[in-house]
Structure 1
């Protein structure tokens, strides 16, 4: 009996409090509790701490959402990066805008060398996962393709497939 009375009292107190949490009251609640909401630029790059651009052999850092390119492939790279699992983020994932080679991608600094998920800027090409060698091998090759995905997957699928490929090949610990 006491439990039923207590639950009714809690229900009668909680319902008006929930009604206060409407969209027009949220700024007031943020101000009361000292919370500042994240902006769209902060939310779009929550998982990746750095973006770099390579133009004419010069590597420079760009700020995501501020000075970074806003092309469809760049936005897609940020979206994929936000869905990467923690193991990929621990591998030092960075978004790369390489205009010299004509791709935008996500670069992972793994223990056996950098790996890049390339999203070529030309339409119709597939997504490629490239292992870049630190030094050229005996044939002079500086990179090796370790995976290729058709351009039919969504961002969540590409993030999952990339993480599984890197984990199954021993690039991630």
Structure 2
């Protein structure tokens, strides 16, 4: 969990937030492909940036599948840069997914996009 620029670990899930976004993130993470799980898929609760997502450490840097923050919002697959680009960008959006898909579909599309674009080994 990230709050006030401090990162703390949530032990055993007992301290984990049970918001609808967090529940959806855990559900999607359970359906990710083995390659994504090997990339270290973790649930992230970033209170500073106001998102809950599934973070994976890929070959080209961290990638986060962000859950919608409001009803009817889109899922976003975002590549976070380790160092900011010269123009000041710290992330790049890879994919938008509408909320019409089930968790299995979102996990499948996320895995396929990452594998096809060379993010996963």
Classify the TM-score, shorter chain.
Answer: over 0.9
Unaligned runs of 5+ in 1: 1-52
| Mapped partners of 1:115, 1:67: distance in 2 | 24
Greater share of residues in helix: 1
Distance 1:104 1:154 in 2: 17
Structure 1 length as normaliser, TM-score? 0.68
TM-score normalised by structure 2 residue count: 0.96
Matches of 2:86 and 2:41 in 1, distance apart? 29
Superposition map of 1:42-121 within 5 A = 53-121=1-69
Equivalent residue pairs, number: 121
CA RMSD across the alignment: 0.9
- Describe the superposition over 1:124-157 as per-residue Cα deviations: whole angstroms up to 9, x where unpaired: 2200000000101111111000101001111100
Going by fraction, where is strand more abundant, 1 or 2?
A: 2
Q: Does 1 or 2 have the higher relative contact order (CA < 8 Å, sep 6+)?
A: 2
In structure 2, runs of 5+ residues without a counterpart are: none
Say if 1:106 and 1:118, in contact at 8 Å, map to a contact too.
yes
Per the alignment, residue 115 of structure 2 pairs with 167
Contact 1:80/1:159 (8 A) holds in 2: yes
Residue 131 (structure 1) aligns with? 79
Higher Cα radius of gyration: 1
Offset at 1:64?
4.5
What residue number does 1:35 align with? Answer: none
Structure 1 residue 102: Cα displacement: 1.2
Most deviating of 118-127 and 99-108: 118-127
Post-superposition offset of 1:57: 1.0
Moved >4 Å (runs of 4+)? none
Q: Deviations over 1:7-62 (max 9, x none)?
A: xxxxxxxxxxxxxxxxxxxxxxxxxxxxxxxxxxxxxxxxxxxxxx1111111100
Question: How many Å separate the matches in 2 of 1:150 and 1:64?
Answer: 31
